[in-house]
Amino acid sequence: MKIRSVEPFILHVPLNVASISDSTHTITHWGVVGTRITTEDGLEGYGFTGTHAHLPSDQLITRCISACYAPLLIGEDASDGTRLWLKLARNPALQWVGRAGITQIALAAVDIALWDLRAKAARMPLWKLLGGATTEKLEAYNTDIGWLSIPKDTLLERSRRAIEEEGFRRIKLKVGHDDPMIDLDRLEAVRKALGPNVTIAIDANGRWDLPTCQRFCEKAEAVSLHWFEEPMWYDDVRSHAILARSTRIPIALGEQLYTAEAFSTFIDAEAVQYVQPDVTRLAGITEYLQVADRAHSSRLPVVAHVGDMGQVHVHLSYSHPATTMLEYIPWIKDCFAEPIRVENGYYLRPEMPGAGATLTAAAIVSYAKPL
């Protein structure tokens, strides 16, 4: 499996609506930014990270792949998994300029492509290569109904439809208005409409400060929430530890953390109850597994954040024993040779060999942007 070429790509895929907002971002497209890696024996591996489709920064990611990682990969044996990851992830010159950010998410794409190659060479879906499925059915929770930009009446209608017609039992709603009482009112309305048996999680995308969160949680506890995700600034361990001690609502976070060490810091501080690694922000599958194992050894549930919109995470979630469910946002699935599928609120187990990241030629033609 000698590596012959490393070819980056940038796709900007339109969402299923004109735009959505959470408390901190408004987006119209999802960026699928990554690389195809080919071997001398004719295999093609695909890996990508997820972005908000901001072309100038997407081009920094692809430039990092082609200028910094490709020269370290050409001629190497793609089956040498751990050694290659160490060569890339512990490269002193690259660590000097970034142990987080662009270098890390570029490495995520590369590492996923290498695993995709290994799974294809083994003729197995990735979940099988990783040791097999640890669960019969992986439950999905639906984030796509609950954006902050959705007015209350539409929110109620979409939540009802997800539960009553589409078969979901679990949903997530965005919060994070300047006035948290607006969020509380939306939550109470949805809880009232759906009854007590539906799982409702909330996500503030890092927007509020500690006093706002404490005041909000005191009232929100009555709504029965599965978790409160990213209540405060992503790196603020101390405030999350204080909030975790002061509310009965479990804290979830991780989608903005770049390293296994960052997760360990939150876990050690008892600042997180639901661990949410993202394979497209950590240094790929290799580091994702480190985080999931760390969480598991502390008996904490893992529910990945889907920066890949589930394509790769469905494999990781089926195979890792710490997983309890997986987020569902169906924005980019039709770009892939094997799109994720959810039926009756459960992810179907992928069958094709690989890591679920293989793009279709049609998607590349339709959505490619200049490198």
Residue 305 is among the residues annotated as catalytic for this protein: yes
CA distance 58 to 31: 8
| Contact set for ligand 0YR, span 185-224 (CB under 6 A) | 203, 205
Q: Which does 27 bind (CB under 5 to 8 A by kind): ligand 0YR, Mg ion, none?
A: ligand 0YR
| Contact set for Mg ion, span 253-312 (CB under 5 A) | 255
Residue closer to ligand 0YR by CB (options 206, 354) is 206
Which of 12, 226, 240, 305 is catalytic? The answer is 305
Q: If we measure between CA atoms, which residue out of 227, 263, 229, 269 comes closest to residue 245?
A: 269
Q: What is the smallest separation between the CB atom of 253 and Mg ion, expressed in angstroms?
A: 8
Residue 174 is among the residues annotated as catalytic for this protein: yes
- 58, 255, 308, 338: residue in contact with ligand 0YR (rule CB under 6 A): 255
Phi-psi region of 244 (alpha: psi -120 to 50; beta: other; left: phi over 0): alpha
* Cα dist from 62 to 69, 84, 187, 208, 279, whole Å: 10, 19, 40, 33, 17
Instruction: Count the site residues for ligand 0YR by CB under 6 A.
Output: 9
Which of 29, 128, 172, 174 is catalytic? The answer is 174
Residue type, 207: R
Pairing type for strands 228-229 and 346-347 reads unpaired
CA distance 90 to 102: 15
**Dihedral sign of CA atoms 224, 222, 296, 174 in order:** positive
Q: Which does 320 bind (CB under 5 to 8 A by kind): Mg ion, ligand 0YR, none?
A: none
Would you count residue 203 as binding Mg ion (CB under 5 A)? yes
**Dihedral sign of CA atoms 53, 56, 61, 66 in order:** positive
Q: Which does 287 bind (CB under 5 to 8 A by kind): ligand 0YR, Mg ion, none?
A: none
For 196, the 3-state DSSP assignment is coil
Phi and psi (nearest 5°) for 31?
-85, 125
Residue closer to ligand 0YR by CB (options 128, 240) is 240
What is the C-alpha radius of gyration for the chain, rounded to an integer number of angstroms?
20
| Contact set for ligand 0YR, span 11-30 (CB under 6 A) | 22, 25, 27
Q: What is the DSSP string of 173-204?
A: EE---SSHHHHHHHHHHHHHHH-TTSEEEEE-
Q: What is the smallest separation between the CB atom of 29 and Mg ion, expressed in angstroms?
A: 18
Tokens of 239: 């405030």
The binding track of 318-347 with respect to ligand 0YR, each residue x by CB under 6 A or -, is ---------x--------------------
Indicate the residue whose CB is closest to Mg ion: 203
Residue closer to ligand 0YR by CB (options 78, 300) is 300
Tokens of 299: 């008996």
For 10, the 3-state DSSP assignment is strand
Q: Give the torsion through C-alpha atoms of 88, 91, 96, 102, to 10 deg.
A: 0
Q: What is the smallest separation between the CB atom of 136 and ligand 0YR, expressed in angstroms?
A: 25
The binding track of 275-314 with respect to ligand 0YR, each residue x by CB under 6 A or -, is ------------------------------x---------
Instruction: Give residues in contact with Mg ion (CB under 5 A).
Output: 203, 255
Residues serving a catalytic function are: 174, 305
Residues that bind ligand 0YR (CB under 6 A): 22, 25, 27, 143, 203, 205, 255, 305, 327
